[in-house]
C-alpha cells in the first residue's frame, strides 16, 4: 500500500502530535507515525506519570505531617501502592486517549509502526505484526525524541537497574532506592518516593545539585528540604559498579572524595541525562547533519540539512522539554503552511517538580553578569505572603534579575509553592520586554501567591512593602509613561 501526503510527522510526542494537529488545521493532508504510544514519552512515561505520582505523594505526606497542625486528625493514613499505580496509569491512558481523539477529530491519519526512511521522499512503516506501509510525502517532520543515557556497569535491566520508565512503573515501594544522578529526574522521583516512605540516597557526580539548570540559591532550598525529610544527598560521588546479593538486594560501589564506599539498597535508578534518538535505524538512509552534541542540526525554521525534512523536540536540541517541543511543532506547521516564521521565543521556562518546586525563566544572576549586564537583583520570600502562610507553604522566594539601566526583566527564579504555575507571568513579562515597573504596577489579586512576583519587582526597585529592606537601600523612582490618549 502506498499513501501520499503533504506532510508526515514521525513520532507522536508533544512535538509530533501538536505539529500534526496544527498541520491539519492549516489545511495540509497530514499523517503521523507512532510505534508505541500517542503522547510520547511525556504523556506515557515522563511528565504526566511523574507529576501524577508527585501530586499523590505530596498529598500523602501533607496528610501525615501537616494536617494535624491545622487541627485535622486523620487516623490510619496508609498507602495502597498497587492502587496508586493503577490511578497513575489511568491518568496517562486518559491523556493518551485525548490525543487519539484530537488527531481523529482533526483528520490526521495515524499509522502504527516503526518508521524507517528508505529515501528522503519515502518512509517504510513496519507494524508489530510485520505489515508494511509505504508513505510518500512532500515534507517530513522528525519528532522521535530521546532516551536515557546509560553508564558502563549499570546497564538497564529494569529489575535491579532502573531507568525513569522502570522507576515510574514499580509494583512495590522500595525500602531503599539508590539514585545515580541528582538532576531533574533523580530529584523528582527521589522526592516523591521519599514522601511515600522510601529511604532515598542520591549520588551526584558534580559538586552540587541541579546547578546546570537552576539558580543555585533555589537549588539550596530544595536540597535542605529533602535533607530534612531524610533523603541522603551525596555530591562528588562516582558510581563504579554494583553486585546483586543473595537476598535480592544490590550493593553499589562508588568513589567519594578518593575513597571507595559501598552502600546497600533494593534497586538502583540511573538518571544521568537523556540523549537524542539520532542513531536509530529510522535515519540510516538519510545523511542529516548533526550538532556536536549529537542532535539533528536545524535552522531557525527547524529545517534540517535536507530542506523538506524538519526536526523538532528532544531530537533537535536542548532544552529537552515538552513545551519547547510543542512550540517547535507549531512553528514547523506554520512554516509548512507558508507562514513567514522562525524560532524567535526569547525564553523557555523550566520547572523542576521537587518539594518545593523550582521554576525559572530567562537569565540567572550569574548568566546576566557574565553577559555584561549591570544587574539589579531582588528577592521576596513566600514567608511574607499571606496566601503562602495560610497554605502552610512558606519555604522559598521569588528572585528577580533586571537590567539596571532600563529595568527590563532579564530573569525570574522561583522556589516555592506553585512555582510551576507562577512562572508563566514571568515568561510573558520577558517575552513582552516588560520592566520591573510593569510587574510592580500591575494590580495582583489578594491574597494570592502571584503577589510575590509584584512584590519581588518592588523589592528589586527598592520599594518592598511587606519586607524590610536594609537601611540605605537605593529606591528607584517608579513610574510608567502615561498613555497619550487614555482608553
Ligand atoms: P517524545 O515525547 O520522546 O516522543 C517521541 C515519540 O516518537 C515516541 O512516542 C516514540 O515512540 C516515537 N518514535 C521514536 N522513534 C520512532 C520510529 N522510528 N517510528 C515511529 N515512532 C517513533 N518535560 C517537561 O517539559 N516537563 C516535565 O515535567 C517533564 N518530565 C519528565 C519526566 C520524565 C521521567 C522524563 C523521562 C522526561 C520528562 N520531560 C519533561 C521531558 C519530556 O518528556 C520531553 O522533553 C518530551 O517528551 C519531548 O517530546 P518529543 O515530542 O520530542 O519526543
Ligand atoms: P539531568 O541532566 O537533569 O541530570 C543528570 C545529573 O546526573 C546531573 O546532575 C549530572 O551531573 C549527573 N551525572 C551525570 N553523570 C553522572 C554519573 N556518572 N554519576 C553521578 N551523577 C552523574 O538529567 P535527567 O535527570 O536524566 O533528566 C533528563 C532530561 O529530561 C532533563 O535534562 C530534562 O530536559 C528532562 N526532564 C525534565 C523534567 C521537567 O521539566 N520537570 C523532569 C524530568 C526530566
**In this prediction, what percent of the chain has a pLDDT beyond 90?**
94
Supply the mean pLDDT for the chain. 96
Residue 4 banded pLDDT, cuts 50, 70, 90? confident
- Confirm if 161 and 154 have CB atoms less than 8 A apart: yes
What DSSP character marks residue 442?
S
- Distance (angstroms) between ligand 1 centre and the Cα of 159 equals 22
Per-residue cell: 268: 538502583
| Catalytic residue from among 176, 323, 407, 446 | 446
- Distance (angstroms) between ligand 1 centre and the Cα of 302 equals 18
| C-alpha–C-alpha distance, residues 299 and 294, integer Å | 15
Residue 487 has pLDDT above 70, yes or no: no
Protein residue closest via CA to atom 11 of ligand 2: 206
Ligand in closest contact with the CA of 209? 2
Residue 486 has pLDDT above 80, yes or no: no
481 φ, ψ to 5°? Answer: -60, 140
HSE-up of residue 364 (Cα within 13 Å, Cβ side):
16
Q: What is the pLDDT of residue 1?
A: 59
Site to substitute for ligand 2 among 273, 318, 349, most atoms within 8 A of C-beta: 273
Question: Would you call 446 a catalytic residue per the annotation?
Answer: yes
For 201-255, how does the pLDDT look when each residue is reduced to its tens digit (9 = 90+)? 999 999 999 977 789 999 999 999 999 999 999 999 999 999 999 999 999 999 9
Q: What is the pLDDT of residue 324?
A: 98
Q: What is the pLDDT of residue 249?
A: 97
Residue 280 banded pLDDT, cuts 50, 70, 90? confident
Q: What is the pLDDT of residue 211?
A: 77
The response to whether residue 219 sits with its C-beta less than 6 Å from ligand 2 reads no
For 53-95, how does the pLDDT look when each residue is reduced to its tens digit (9 = 90+)? 999 999 999 999 999 999 999 988 999 999 999 999 999 999 9
Residue 170 banded pLDDT, cuts 50, 70, 90? very high
Q: In sequence order, which residues have a C-beta less than 8 Å from that of residue 323 and are 6 or more positions away?
A: 14, 348, 349
Q: What is the pLDDT of residue 162?
A: 98
Per-residue cell: 163: 531507568
Residue 476 banded pLDDT, cuts 50, 70, 90? confident
Site to substitute for ligand 2 among 186, 269, 272, most atoms within 8 A of C-beta: 272
What are the structural domains of the chain? Answer: 2-147+275-336 (3.50.50.60), 161-272 (3.50.50.60), 356-461 (3.30.390.30)
| C-alpha–C-alpha distance, residues 243 and 130, integer Å | 39
Span 308-323, average pLDDT: 98
- Collect contacts of 287-291 with beta carbons under 8 A, ≥24 apart: 291/317
Angle of CA points 356, 358, 363, to nearest 5° = 160
Protein residue closest via CA to atom 9 of ligand 1: 40
Question: What stretch of H or E contains 55?
Answer: helix 47-65
Encode 52-83: b = buried (16+ Cβ within 10 Å), e = exposed.
bbbebbbebbbeeeeeeeeeeeeeeeeeeeee
Give SS3 for 419.
helix
| C-alpha–C-alpha distance, residues 44 and 270, integer Å | 19
Q: What is the pLDDT of residue 343?
A: 98
Q: What is the pLDDT of residue 386?
A: 98
Q: What is the pLDDT of residue 2?
A: 66
Neighbours of 140 (CB within 10 A): 27
Amino acid at each position: 500500500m502506498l499513501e501520499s501526503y503533504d506532510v508526515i510527522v514521525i513520532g507522536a510526542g508533544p512535538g509530533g502530535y501538536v505539529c500534526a494537529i496544527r498541520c491539519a488545521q492549516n489545511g495540509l493532508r497530514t499523517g503521523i507515525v507512532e510505534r508505541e504510544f500517542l503522547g510520547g514519552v511525556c504523556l506515557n512515561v515522563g511528565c504526566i506519570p511523574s507529576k501524577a505520582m508527585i501530586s499523590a505523594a505530596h498529598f500523602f505526606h501533607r496528610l501525615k505531617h501537616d494536617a494535624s497542625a491545622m487541627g485535622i486528625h486523620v487516623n490510619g493514613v496508609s498507602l495502597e501502592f498497587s492502587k496508586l499505580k493503577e490511578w497513575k496509569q489511568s491518568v496517562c491512558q486518559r491523556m493518551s486517549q485525548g490525543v487519539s481523539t484530537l488527531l481523529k477529530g482533526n483528520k490526521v491519519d495515524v499509522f502504527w509502526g516503526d518508521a524507517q526512511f528508505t529515501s528522503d521522499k519515502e518512509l517504510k512503516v513496519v507494524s508489530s505484526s510485520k505489515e508494511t506501509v509505504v508513505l510518500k510525502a512532500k515534507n517530513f517532520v522528525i519528532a522521535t525524541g530521546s532516551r536515557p543515557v546509560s553508564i558502563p556497569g549499570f546497564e538497564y535491566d529494569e529489575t535491579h537497574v532502573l531507568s525513569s520508565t522502570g522507576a515510574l512503573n514499580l509494583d512495590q515501594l522500595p525500602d531503599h532506592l539508590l539514585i545515580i544522578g541528582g538532576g531533574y529526574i533523580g530529584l523528582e522521583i527521589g522526592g516523591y518516593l521519599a514522601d511515600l516512605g522510601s529511604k532515598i540516597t542520591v549520588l551526584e557526580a558534580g559538586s552540587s545539585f541541579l546547578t546546570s539548570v537552576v539558580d543555585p540559591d533555589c537549588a539550596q532550598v530544595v536540597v535542605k528540604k529533602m535533607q530534612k525529610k531524610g533523603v541522603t544527598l551525596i555530591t562528588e560521588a562516582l558510581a563504579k559498579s554494583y553486585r546483586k546479593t543473595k537476598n535480592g538486594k544490590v550493593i553499589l560501589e562508588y568513589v567519594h572524595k578518593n575513597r571507595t564506599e559501598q552502600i546497600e539498597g533494593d534497586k538502583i535508578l540511573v538518571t544521568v541525562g537523556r540523549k537524542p534518538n539520532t542513531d536509530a535505524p529510522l535515519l540510516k538512509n538519510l545523511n542529516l547533519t548533526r550538532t556536536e552534541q549529537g542532535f539533528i542540526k536545524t535552522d531557525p525554521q527547524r529545517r534540517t540539512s535536507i530542506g523538506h525534512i524538519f526536526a523538532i523536540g528532544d531530537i533537535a536540541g536542548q532544552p529537552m522539554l515538552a513545551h519547547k517541543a510543542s512550540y517547535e511543532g507549531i512553528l514547523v506547521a506554520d512554516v509548512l503552511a507558508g507562514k513567514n516564521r522562525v524560532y524567535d521565543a526569547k525564553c523557555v521556562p523550566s520547572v523542576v517538580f521537587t518539594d518545593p518546586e523550582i521554576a525559572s525563566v530567562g537569565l540567572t544572576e550569574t548568566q546576566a553578569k557574565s553577559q555584561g549586564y549591570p544587574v539589579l537583583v531582588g528577592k521576596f520570600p513566600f514567608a511574607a505572603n499571606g496566601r503562602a502562610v495560610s497554605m502552610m507553604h512558606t519555604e522559598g522566594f521569588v528572585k528577580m534579575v533586571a537590567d539596571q539601566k532600563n529595568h527590563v526583566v532579564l530573569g525570574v527564579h522561583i522556589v516555592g509553592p506553585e512555582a510551576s504555575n507562577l512562572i508563566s507571568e514571568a515568561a510573558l513579562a520577558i517575552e513582552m520586554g516588560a520592566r520591573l515597573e510593569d510587574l510592580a504596577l500591575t494590580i495582583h489579586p489578594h491574597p494570592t501567591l502571584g503577589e510575590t512576583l509584584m512584590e519581588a519587582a518592588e523589592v528589586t526597585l527598592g520599594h518592598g512593602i511587606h519586607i524590610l529592606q536594609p537601611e540605605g537601600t537605593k529606591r528607584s523612582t517608579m513610574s510608567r509613561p502615561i498613555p497619550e490618549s487614555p482608553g
